[in-house]
Structure formats: C-alpha cells, structure tokens
A and B are shown apart, each in its own frame.
Chain A
Amino acid sequence: MIDVHELTKRYGDKTAVDELSFTVQPGQVTGFLGPNGAGKSTTMRMIIGLDAPTSGSATVNGRRYAEHAAPLQEIGTLLEAKAVHSGRTAFNHLLALAQTHGIPRRRVDEVIELAGLQTVAHKRAGTFSLGMGQRLGIAAALLGDPEVVMLDEPVNGLDPEGVLWVRHLLSGLAAEGRTVMLSSHLMSETALIADQLVIVGRGRLLADTTVDDFIRQAGREDVKVATTQAERLRALLSGPGVTITATTAEELVVLGLDAHRIGAIAAQHGVPLYELSQQTVSLEAAFMDLTSDSVEYHSAPADTAARRAA
C-alpha cells in the first residue's frame, strides 16, 4: 500500500502539494483525480523519491521508496512524461532496468508480450507513437512483478483497444490483491476503472471516498428515458421527491427514481421505452463542481475568447 502523510512540496512561494494525506489500499483500484496542475504528478514523483518533499512523508509498503532493497518489486510506476532513451530499443530499455535488480531476461520477454510490444521490441523507442510509448511504460512498471502499481494518466494516447486493455489489466491486478493507483483528470473515465477515489485540487485533498459514495453524494442520479408516450409516463412516475423535466417531446430526465424502478413502472403499465440510461455526465459535473474553486488554469468561456480574438 501507499501511505502519504502531510506531504508538502513548495517551489519558492508556490505550493504544489499542500499537507496531503491519504492511503491507497491493496485489492482495489484507486483513482487519483484532479484538474491539471493539482499536484498529482508531483505527489507521484515524491512517492518514488524523484522529488524530495518540503515536509511530510510518503511510504510504499511501510518504507520510504529508496529504502527498499528491490524497489521495482515493491512498486511499478509509469510517470506522465516518457522516461526512456529515444535511441535505445524497447527490449534493451527493459533489459537494462531489469539488470539492476537481477530480474531474469525471461521476465523482460514476458512483459513485452503482456504489453503487446512483440513486433516493435527491437525498434528504437524514439520511433514509438504515444500509445506504444505508454505500453512500454506499463511494461516497465510491471517488470518487477510489483505489489503496488502506480500509473500517471495510463490511458493517455491509447486507442480504444488499448484503453480496454489497461482497464482489464488494472482490475486484474487489483483482483490479485495488489495495490493499484492511477491518476487522471477525467472523472468519467476513472469511474469505469476505480473503486476508490482520492480527489485533489491545488495540492489539497478535496475528497477521499469510494466511487459509489461519490456518485451518491453527487446526488444527481438523473435517468434519461425516451418513450413514445412521454406524457403518460410522466404522470406514472410523478410523486414526492421526483423531479421530471422534458428535454424533447419524447425524452424525459428523471431525478429521484433509479433506472431499475422506472423500467419496472413502465413495463407494468405497458409503456414502450426505447432508451433508459443513468446519466454519467452528472459524474463529471459533480467532479467539476468539487474542483471548480481549485482549478489552476481557468479557460475563458469560448465566446469571450472569440470576442477577444476578434
């Protein structure tokens, strides 16, 4: 597991990470979320000792990273930026890392296969696309068969097949009892993989919760339902604590009843539905609500920007 305790990093008078405390538990996937510039990467760099904290501490499996005899076996990491010599082949890159630990060559072949890099293993890493670079980074993270895996924006640059691969890989690792932490700035994407959420903004902890609780607390379990008999369904669903808005003639957004219940009511009364879906958009909205005060780089509304440019 990863234990971050009152971790602080200051660069001059700018505080990148501000007394951040959280733990990442084994057996589940923890999403580390925050807008750009929230201090996610800095925190991860401090966990593996690339940056020294101004104060506070970060430990992996009970010890500071540098104190482990075989750090790659404790925690495998993929950092946001490419960490590979562009002139070296993927195989030699992994081999050189493996050799520092006495990890056998066969394990290098294994992670190459696991990451689907067989065909490019002997090509220089500088020729890799962003997606292949991510796969190489993930292969390196798995080299030591680590108990903890920490990935910074792992699906960045991956194609849909790659995104799915990462999801399965991470949930598989968690199911084996390992500790999995991944950072992202996208709530919707993280909610698909993660069980636990650690949300930061401007270097501070904003929330440490489960995905389920976050959704519940977000309190906006809108259900979108489309039917040819919108008016009739509306009447059937109405009740105390239920808010219904019509978006188009055949579409309703229902707040206060879950999709399960709405489907049952519709079936009971023979109302044909052609769409019934939980609104995941609200998750992103709740995340943005939570972090809006701490967004580092605010963008001007599109029209303002356009006006300025004109």
Chain B
Amino acid sequence: MTTATAPARTTTVAPARPAYKVTWLRVLRSEWTKFWSVRSSPITLATALFLLMGIGAIASYTYDPAAAPGSDGPPITDGAISLALMGTIFTSLAIGVLGVLVSAGEYSTGMIRATLAAVPKRLPTLWAKTAVFGVVATVVTAVGALGAFLLGAVILDGEAIAMSLGDDGVLRALAGTGLYLGLVGMWGVALGALLRSSAGGIAVLVGMLLIVPGLSSLLPASIADNVTPYLPSNAGQAVTHLNQATNSLGPWTGVAVFAGWVVVTLVAAAYRLARRDA
C-alpha cells in the first residue's frame, strides 16, 4: 500500500513553503471578486441604473406645468429634483434584492461552507460583503441620480421648476439618494445573512420598505405620527428631499435613523453568523 513505497516519514512537508495569511484587505478583495463574478450583480446594477435614470427622464418628460399642482400624479414639492428622483423606490427594490442575494445566495448554494473554511473567523466575511456592496451601490446609484437629474435638466430647460446643480440642496439630495440606496443595499446584505434565505430576506425587505409604511396609515393618527417617520424608507428618504414634509425627520437625522436600522440588523446577523452552525 501507499506507505510501502513512501520515503522515510517526515512531519514537515515541502521546504520553504510560502507564508500565506488571511487579512482584512484580502477578505475584501475576495468579496469584491465574488460580487463581480456572478451575473446577477452587473445585471441588477444595470437594471437599477436604468430604473433610476429612465423613470426620472420619463417623469421629467411627461411633466405638464398646466396640470400641476393639485391634479393627479405625485406632488412636485421639490421641483425638478422630485421628478428626477421619481425612480428611487423602484431602484431601492432592485438594490435591496441584490443585497439579499449577495449574502443569502451563499447559503442557498452551499458556498458559505467554502467561504467559512477559508475565513473561519467568520465575521470578516460579513463586514467585507457589506462594505463591498455598500460602496458599489452608493457609487452606482449616486451616479444614476446625477444622470437622472442632468437628463431632467435638459428636458425641463426653460420650465419654471427647472433647477441647476448649484441650487441649494440639489447636490445633497443627489448624493443623499446614493447614500440612501447604498444603505438599502447594506440592509439587504444584513437581512440575507440574518435570515439565511433569499426568499425570506426579500420578503422582509420589500415588506418593510413598501408595505409597512402604507399600513402605518391604519394606525390612530397620534401613534402614526410618532412611528411613520422612523420607518426605514421614510427615514432614509428624507435626505433625498429638498423640502421636508411636516412630519418627516430632518435629512441627516433620517439618514442616522435608517443607518440605525441597518446597524441593528447587521449586529443580529453577526451574532447569528458567529454563534450558529453554518
């Protein structure tokens, strides 16, 4: 058998083995490679960009000053910005779903076992995933928001509601859209890691972003006024508006509240990742 032909047994293997080591930066690189090497990532990001710019351009194009204000269609409280960012809600769904897939996809395919075998300390993979997708989603959607606004500016040229980049709050709203959508993406990653299920993560994400805010109107007004502004999508979107509605949080308070949702979910996901068998 094998040992019969084996040379003298030694406990050390080949001489001069390279010294490999797991580091934070390397885990980040690995997650970067992982993110870009599945088709769903570029496709969903392109979809998100298309939704953000396309819906913004269409809203600007179909804008009719004679019909506004007070008629059908969403209220135009922020002029050209409201029109340009009309696609934010749809984009948030695309980005959030991709975030869920980034983490929950590892569980549904079994990849998580290879991932944790390579990084048995576990938590670095969650932070790296969140960081990679958070940054990508923020940058891509901020660019998309800027593109939507510039398209709208061309289309709305000469209209009363037209705005330029230099106008008060415009850059903040556009960057804020990137920030909000980046946080949505990170929240998706956290939900996917917490629930370890794509379907579960997507259901919670869509429910909390879209359905719960609508349901909150069923609450008695006194309670609704205290709850509604703190819901993830309401709080997070405050920074994308120029003029805050009466019961809305301030832009940066809103971002902080939504970031709080993300952090709490991430901590819960980290706890589960560290403690539970994979």
The contact size tier of chain A is: 35 or more
| Interface segment, one of B18-26, B46-54, B235-243, B264-272 | B18-26
| Interface segment, one of B9-17, B80-88, B142-150, B171-179 | B9-17
Chain B neighbourhood of A145, CB < 8 A: 14, 17-18
Chain A neighbourhood of B78, CB < 8 A: none
Chain B neighbourhood of A268, CB < 8 A: none
- In the complex, the answer to whether A195 meets B118 with C-beta atoms within 8 Å is no
Is B207 among interface residues, defined by CB-CB distance under 8 A? no
Is B64 among interface residues, defined by CB-CB distance under 8 A? no
Q: How many residues of B contact A (CB 8 A)?
A: 48
In B36-54, the 8 Å CB interface with A consists of 37-40
- In the complex, the answer to whether B40 meets A87 with C-beta atoms within 8 Å is yes
Is B250 among interface residues, defined by CB-CB distance under 8 A? no
**Are A99 and B120 also in contact (CB < 8 A) when A26-B9, A29-B2, A174-B3 are?**
no
Q: Which of B11, B21, B39, B117 is most buried by chain A, counting CB atoms within 10 A of its CB?
A: B117
| Interface segment, one of B105-113, B153-161, B218-226 | B105-113
Q: Which one of A45, A48, A69, A84 contacts B111 once the chains associate, using CB atoms below 8 Å? A: A84
| Interface segment, one of B27-35, B181-189, B197-205, B255-263 | B27-35
Is B116 among interface residues, defined by CB-CB distance under 8 A? yes
Complexed CA–CA distance, A176 and B13 (Å)? 7
- In the complex, the answer to whether A83 meets B9 with C-beta atoms within 8 Å is no
**Are A86 and B109 also in contact (CB < 8 A) when A50-B277, A69-B21, A195-B2 are?**
yes
Complexed CA–CA distance, A144 and B23 (Å)? 15
- In the complex, the answer to whether A27 meets B6 with C-beta atoms within 8 Å is yes
- In the complex, the answer to whether A96 meets B33 with C-beta atoms within 8 Å is yes
Q: Is the interface of A mostly helix, strand, loop or mixed?
A: loop
- In the complex, the answer to whether A175 meets B1 with C-beta atoms within 8 Å is no
Chain A: residues with CB nearer than 8 A to chain B? 1, 26-29, 45, 48-52, 65-66, 68-73, 77, 79, 81-89, 92-93, 95-97, 99-103, 140, 144-145, 147, 170-171, 174-178, 193-195, 211
Can you pick out 15 interface pairs between chain A and chain B where the beta carbons lie within 8 Å of each other? A1-B11, A26-B10, A28-B9, A49-B120, A51-B278, A66-B122, A82-B109, A83-B113, A85-B34, A87-B38, A100-B22, A101-B21, A102-B26, A145-B18, A194-B1
Given A81-B113, A195-B2, 17 new contacts (CB under 8 A): A26-B11, A27-B3, A27-B11, A50-B277, A66-B120, A68-B120, A71-B22, A79-B113, A85-B105, A87-B40, A92-B34, A95-B33, A99-B29, A100-B29, A101-B118, A174-B3, A177-B12
